[in-house]
C-alpha cells in the first residue's frame, strides 16, 4: 500500500489567516488528514529580499513569482511594515487545524531570520528562538509540542543539540529518503528525524518548463510502495495562488489509492522498525536556492 504524509508549513501571517482555513476545507473535501507546522513569531518576510545574492535565487523568483504567491503586503513585512507577531493574530486559525483532526506542531519562531542567518546566530540566540516557539505553542494549544520541523530544511549541530532537550517524538529538519537518528559530534541523538522525501511544487514549477499539472504527475510517480513518503507544502502557496493545483494533487492521490497519514500517526511504526544512526550533511537540490540539510 502506498502512504503519504502531508507536511503543511505555515510561514507567514497571511498563510495563517487565509491559507490554513482554505487548506482545511480542501483536505476535508478529500477526506485526508495532514500535519500542520506553525510559525509563531515575527513575520519578517520582507527581509527575505537579501537572498537576492544567493545563487539560484533570481532564477527561482522568475519561475515562481513570489509576489503573486505571497502577496505584496507580506513581502513588505519587516521592511516597510512592522513585522507582526503571527500567533497573536492567528491563534484561532491555528486551533482550527487541531479541531478538524489534524496534527499540529512547531515550524518556527522567526522563520526568515533562522532560514537566512542560521550559521551566523549565537547559541544564545538559537536557544531563545526555540524557547519562544515552544512557549507560543503552549499558549496557543495548552500543551507541549510533540513534533517540530525546521524552516527550509536547515539545521546545524547547535540546533540539533538544543532541540534534543525538548524531548520531542520526532523532528523534520532535513531532506532524505528514510527516518534516522542524527549523529552530532559522535553522539547519537534520541529525536527521530523524519525527512521530507519528495520535491515540492514551488521547487519544480517552471523548472525545465514544467507546468503545475506536470509537477503533480511527477510527484505522483515518485510515491513509493511501503516506504516513507513525505510531501511538503505551504499554506501561502497551495492554500493560496496554487490551491487549484493542490486540489488536483489530492484528488490524484485518492484516485491512485494513496493513503494520507500524519507524522504523529506514522512515527511509532517508524521507530519500531529500528532506524539507523546517521550524520546530517548539506547539499543543493534542484529548484531550491542554497543548501538544505540532508540525511537518511
Q: Where are the domains of the chain?
A: 3-294
Three-state SS at 228: coil
pLDDT at 81: 64
**CATH of the domain spanning 3-294:** 3.20.20.370
pLDDT at 57: 44
pLDDT at 46: 76
pLDDT at 45: 82
Burial of 70 (0-12, 13-18, 19+ CB in 10 A): buried
Closest C-alpha among 136, 127, 131, 47 to residue 88: 136
Tell me what the pLDDT averaged over the chain comes to.
91
> How far is 104 from 116, CA to CA, in rounded Å?
25
pLDDT at 72: 57
> How far is 41 from 230, CA to CA, in rounded Å?
25
Return the H-helix or E-strand segment holding 239.
none
**Prediction pTM value:** 0.91
* H helix intervals, the chain: 13-14, 20-30, 57-64, 66-70, 72-76, 86-99, 111-117, 123-141, 157-164, 201-204, 212-222, 243-255, 263-272
> How far is 91 from 105, CA to CA, in rounded Å?
13
Using 50 as the pLDDT threshold, list the residues of the chain that sit under it.
50-53, 56-63
Contact 44, 111 (CB under 8 A): yes
> How far is 250 from 227, CA to CA, in rounded Å?
19
Closest C-alpha among 38, 194, 58 to residue 102: 38
Contact 1, 225 (CB under 8 A): yes
pLDDT at 44: 80
pLDDT at 73: 60
Amino acid at each position: 500500500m502506498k502512504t503519504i504524509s502531508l507536511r503543511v508549513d505555515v510561514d507567514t501571517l497571511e498563510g495563517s489567516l487565509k491559507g490554513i482555513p482554505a487548506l482545511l476545507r480542501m483536505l476535508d473535501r478529500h477526506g485526508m488528514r495532514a500535519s500542520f507546522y506553525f510559525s509563531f513569531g515575527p513575520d519578517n518576510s520582507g527581509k527575505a529580499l537579501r537572498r537576492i545574492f544567493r545563487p539560484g535565487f533570481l532564477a527561482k523568483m522568475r519561475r515562481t513569482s513570489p509576489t503573486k504567491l505571497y502577496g505584496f503586503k507580506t513581502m513588505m513585512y519587516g521592511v516597510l511594515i512592522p513585522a507582526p507577531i503571527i500567533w497573536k493574530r492567528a491563534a484561532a486559525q491555528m486551533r482550527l487545524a487541531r479541531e478538524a483532526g489534524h496534527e499540529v506542531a512547531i515550524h518556527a519562531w522567526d522563520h526568515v531570520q533562522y532560514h537566512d542567518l542560521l550559521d551566523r546566530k549565537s547559541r544564545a540566540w538559537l536557544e531563545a528562538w526555540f524557547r519562544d516557539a515552544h512557549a507560543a505553542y503552549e499558549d496557543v494549544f495548552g500543551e507541549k509540542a510533540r513534533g517540530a520541523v525546521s524552516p527550509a530544511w536547515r539545521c546545524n549541530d547547535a540546533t540539533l543539540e538544543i532541540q534534543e532537550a525538548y524531548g520531542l517524538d520526532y523532528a523534520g529538519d532535513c531532506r532524505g529518503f528514510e527516518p534516522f537518528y542524527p549523529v552530532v559530534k559522535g553522539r547519537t541523538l534520541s529525536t527521530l528525524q523524519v525527512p521530507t522525501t519528495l520535491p515540492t511544487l514551488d521547487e519544480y514549477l517552471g523548472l525545465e518548463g514544467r507546468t503545475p499539472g506536470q509537477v503533480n504527475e511527477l510527484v505522483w510517480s515518485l510515491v513509493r510502495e511501503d516506504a516513507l513518503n513525505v510531501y511538503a507544502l505551504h499554506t501561502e502557496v497551495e492554500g493560496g495562488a496554487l490551491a487549484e493545483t493542490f486540489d488536483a494533487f489530492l484528488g490524484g492521490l485518492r484516485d491512485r489509492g494513496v493513503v494520507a497519514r500524519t507524522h504523529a500517526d506514522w512515527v511509532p511504526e517508524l521507530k519500531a522498525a529500528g532506524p539507523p544512526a546517521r550524520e546530517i550533511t548539506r547539499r543543493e537540490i534542484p529548484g531550491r536556492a542554497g543548501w538544505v540539510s540532508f540525511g537518511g
